[in-house]
Amino acid sequence: MPDPQMDGERKTTRRMKSHKKSRAGCGNCKIRKVKCDENKPMCKRCQMYGTFCNYDPQYADLQPLEHRTGGILALQPSISLENAPILGMLDPTTDQEQKFSPALFTTNYQFSTRDFELLQQFETKTLFTLGTGRNEDIYRAAFKRLARSHTFLFHVVLTVTLMHNQYLGIGVGAEQSAAMAFHWSQGAALMNQRLSSHIESSECDALWACAGMFGLLAFTSFETKTVEETWPLKDSPTDLEWLKLCEGKKEIWKIANPLREDSLFHSLVPNFLGKPSSTSDSRLLKLPLELIELCRLKEPTRKDINPHLAPACCLAQVIDVECDGKNLALFLSFFGQMQNDYKILLKNKDPCALLILAYWYAKMSRYRQWWVWPRAVLECQAICKFLRLYYGEDNNILKALPFPETICAAQVALGMPK
């Protein structure tokens, strides 16, 4: 028979633990019983839920966010992304919160002078951080043409620009955070509308561009500041959320088909696809012997049997390539090689899967841009520390770690890129 007194103690312990997590958080998160990231002046939960964060006593509990431009109130009743599997992966809220979140959505929003100023900033500044050379010219021409004619992409471009400003410390505050949350939710909602309707061929490029921007936003939404706070050393409900974008983008790829000859991105597609690889591919020999042995890459197995094989092959084709704007697409093809079984291994903190990711992060960290550098450096360091802590007796792992550790240490010494 269960002991009622023990049951009571367990319930008390759970309540105390839950309370302890949000003690320093904002009042809204305490009321909603969710973990607050304690970011000030506005936590991410409040941004995504559509309420003013009440660290500031001037705001009442759960006071709705209002985004005004020329007196227009842009807060509308909730729309559900629950039945949109593609955009569900692109929405800024977590799966658990999606159906409860009051998305900031209106079909009558009028873009302001400030919005067009931000669009110009994206075209003349932010866009230059996303690629270089010929790729840059293609992206610039494409976005300049597409953002002005497709409202959902306009909103997402504004979100990326505002996030870039936040990284640079420009205009940081509750108003900018509210604007970023608004445009993010607006873009996701409008894109969801388009994906659930008949899609015109003229919309395909805008949809693919928007999927890319959502991927960037998900990867950039990185809240931790220290290695010790970072996955896999510390768990959080938002760990590996960016992996969902891999599947979402694959679905939009099928719909938008950027391989078609009339696509604005047609000439860039081969870079993203990369070259097919196999277990007999000589490029695998470029990887450290310790990594090859740990991941059993010498064995003549298929990719569906060895889940480490596909991402390892992708890593092998960039291991001796410098990550810069010219080769960025080749590095990003790593996302496309992440099959579900590999993602499961990452979530379970499989040492081989973590080591492959650490190597990729180390290479990516040399691409010193605001949207990739913080996550690449911190998660790479956290993975290395995790592996030393829990697999310090495995000589192969210890021999494989200096490569990512040395690169990340050099990046930290250089400081945050601007």
CA distances from 90 to 65, 130, 189, 346, 353 (A): 21, 19, 10, 20, 24
Q: In this structure, are residues 156 and 213 in contact, taking their beta carbons and an 8 Å threshold?
A: yes
Residue 49's pLDDT is what? 63
DSSP at 348: T
Q: Say which amino acid occupies 63.
A: Q
Determine the average pLDDT of the residues in 352-379.
94
User: pLDDT digits over 256-267, tens only?
Assistant: 888 888 888 877
More confident position, 80 or 231 = 231
Q: What would the DSSP string read from start to end of 6-54?
A: HHHHHHHHHHHHHHHHTTTS-HHHHHHT------SSS-HHHHHHTB--T
Nearest by Cα to 331 from 412, 409, 239, 219: 219
The residue among 129 and 326 whose pLDDT is bigger is: 129
Query: Among the residues of 104-238, which ranges form H helices?
Result: 113-124, 133-146, 151-168, 174-195, 204-220
Higher pLDDT, 109 or 279: 109
Per-residue tokens: 145: 């043409």
Query: 79 pLDDT band (50/70/90 cuts)?
Result: very low
pLDDT tens string 171-209: 777 788 888 888 988 888 888 888 888 888 889 999 999
Q: Report the chain's C-alpha Rg in angstroms.
A: 22
Q: Where are the domains of the chain?
A: 65-266, 280-414
Percent of the chain with pLDDT over 90: 28
- Specify the pLDDT at position 275: 47
pLDDT confidence of residue 97? 37
Q: What is the per-residue pLDDT across 216-230, written as a single tens digit (0 to 9) for each?
A: 888 888 878 899 999
The answer to whether 303 and 310 are in contact (CB under 8 A) is: yes
**What is the structure's pLDDT at 246?**
67
pLDDT at 120: 92
Of 157, 174, 44, nearest in space to 101 by CA = 44
Nearest Cα neighbor of 262 from 208, 210, 207, 201 is 201
Number of C-alpha atoms within 13 angstroms, CB side, residue 74? Answer: 25
Tokens at 279, concatenated: 């277990």
Record the tokens describing residue 13, joined without a space.
Answer: 């312990």
pLDDT over threshold 50, residue 303:
yes
CA pair distance 248, 91, nearest whole angstrom: 11
Q: Give the pLDDT band of residue 348 (cuts 50, 70, 90).
A: very high
Residue 23: count of CB within 10 angstroms of its CB: 9
**CB-based contact 207:265 (threshold 8 Å):** no
Burial of residue 14 (CB within 10 Å: 0-12, 13-18, 19+) is: exposed
Average pLDDT of span 108-131? 89
* Whether the model pTM is above 0.75: no
pLDDT surpasses 90 at 245: no
Mean pLDDT (whole number) for 143-172: 91
Q: Of residues 304 and 317, which shows the higher confidence score?
A: 317
Q: Is the dihedral of CA 391, 393, 394, 397 positive or negative?
A: positive
